[in-house]
Amino acid sequence: MRILLVGGGGREHALAWKIAQSPLVEHLWAAPGNPGIAKHARCLDLAVDDVDGLAGFATGHDVDLVVVGPEAPLVAGLADSLRAHGLAVFGPSKAAAAIEGSKAFAKDLMARHGIPTARFATHTDPAVARRYCRELGAPLVVKTDGLAAGKGAIVCRTLEEADEAIAQCLERRAFGASGATVVVEEFLHGPEVSYFVLVSGRQAIPVDAAQDHKTIFDDDRGPNTGGMGALAPVAAFDAAMQARVTASIVEPTIRALADEGAPYQGALYVGLMLTKEGPKVVEFNCRFGDPECQVLMVRMQDDLVPLLGAVARAERLPSPKPWNATGRPAVCVNVASPGYPGPYPTGAEITGLVDASAIPGVEVFQAGTARRDGRLVTAGGRVLGVTAVADDLAAAIAAAYEGVRRIHFEGMQYRTDIGRRALGEAGGR
């Protein structure tokens, strides 16, 4: 098969690494890719939002399958444009991707279909929004309606913080048009889980659950990021919980989208809080999570390509157990630029990748990197994901951090507690 992968972050490096292992692959291109992806694919000088360029390349090179990694081009309608050229695409239409592209759309869909989620209201008027905050009481969460690179959910511990978040979004327009409408919602307590399913129209197949570490600092302190580390599997997400989530959330959601004329085709990320009253939706995303995808890929035992192809061609997915994950746990530690998730410098030389990758079970997936004058340099907020799979969680954590210790660039920052809480709950194993 001739495959084009769209994207150039850690998620896409993990996908490229896995796709390239398939004996079915004849050619793999990535647009734009990155220096890590370049080890598995030919990287093209095409941006993820260059719809005409991507369609032209794919039709001109007889591409059999386009796999779209990131949300922004999906929300903008890339999959629709590619399908209009007769291409098979793994990734939802613009209408279905609105489940991530507009929090208000997602929340209204859940409300209409009785899907459990936090109590909420949608606002554009700051005074009315502040009144609603007083009705809800703190803590609460203020979210930009549109995409904000993982930074659009502001958790407010007090009403003063909520007032400030509303001012930031609705008055100072710190998030531009994305934040001109906000969703204000109740704060949910409980372990947070990222659950993934592949959806082909009305059919869903379970993939795997992972746990992200969202904030920049240890012990869940500081502002939210795109994700600073991940692990899988998640002990709290057992078979009974999976069955409950399938029946109360996944099935009604994919039915609702199909019934409303937006059948889903791709990976659906179900962000959950396992509250005392049961699992509730924190958010939906229209793609694999990052860094979650890195731990999913190193645990996946089978060939990924037939699954991606079946979804892209809207075929019935093979069953009963089409996604076969190893029982071995995996951990990913993200290494970020200094200052992230705020402004950060780029161009710092990165060393030690070869040494880190030499550790058994460790893969270093590149996210914000570039090659300059033959040297590997930083080029983004999240720079690398050091991902390890091992016989138990303690060993996976140790291997990932050993990898991190072998890597260096100026000002690198990472959390030192990825997996620590899960390890405590598992009694040290």
Per partner kind, with CB cut-offs from 5 to 8 A, the member of ligand GLY, ligand AMP, none near residue 188 is: ligand AMP
Among 34, 224, 253, 285, binds ligand GLY (CB under 6 A): 285
- Is residue 141 involved in binding ligand AMP (CB under 6 A)? yes
Among 80, 185, 290, 363, binds ligand AMP (CB under 6 A): 185
**18 or 151, CB closer to ligand AMP?**
151
Given a contact cutoff of 8 angstroms between Cβ atoms, the answer to whether 387 and 298 are in contact is yes
In angstroms, the first-to-last Cα distance of the chain is: 41
> Interacting stretch for ligand GLY, rule CB under 6 A, among 103-111, 195-203, 289-297, 309-317?
289-297
Question: Residue 71 Cβ, how far from ligand AMP at the closest point, in Å?
Answer: 11
**170 or 209, CB closer to ligand GLY?**
209
**231 or 407, CB closer to ligand AMP?**
231
Chain residues 214-243 in contact with ligand AMP, contact rule CB under 6 A: 214, 224
**148 or 348, CB closer to ligand GLY?**
148
The Cα-based distances of 152 to 101, 141, 270, 334 in angstroms read 12, 10, 17, 20
Question: Residue 226 Cβ, how far from ligand GLY at the closest point, in Å?
Answer: 6
> Interacting stretch for ligand GLY, rule CB under 6 A, among 286-294, 309-317, 335-343, 401-409?
286-294
**64 or 290, CB closer to ligand GLY?**
290
Q: Which residues contact 77 (CB under 8 A, 6 or more apart)?
A: 51, 93, 94
> Interacting stretch for ligand GLY, rule CB under 6 A, among 273-281, 284-292, 297-305, 420-428?
284-292
Chain residues 111-150 in contact with ligand GLY, contact rule CB under 6 A: 150
Per partner kind, with CB cut-offs from 5 to 8 A, the member of ligand GLY, ligand AMP, none near residue 234 is: none
Per partner kind, with CB cut-offs from 5 to 8 A, the member of ligand GLY, ligand AMP, none near residue 227 is: ligand GLY
- Is residue 192 involved in binding ligand AMP (CB under 6 A)? yes
Per partner kind, with CB cut-offs from 5 to 8 A, the member of ligand GLY, ligand AMP, none near residue 289 is: ligand GLY
- CA–CA gap between residue 181 and residue 412 (Å, rounded): 35
Total binding residues for ligand GLY by CB under 6 A? Answer: 8
Chain residues 224-243 in contact with ligand GLY, contact rule CB under 6 A: 226-227
> Which residues contact ligand GLY (rule: CB under 6 A)?
150, 212, 226-227, 285, 289-290, 292
> Which residues contact ligand AMP (rule: CB under 6 A)?
118, 141, 143, 152-153, 155, 185, 187-188, 192, 214, 224, 271, 282-283
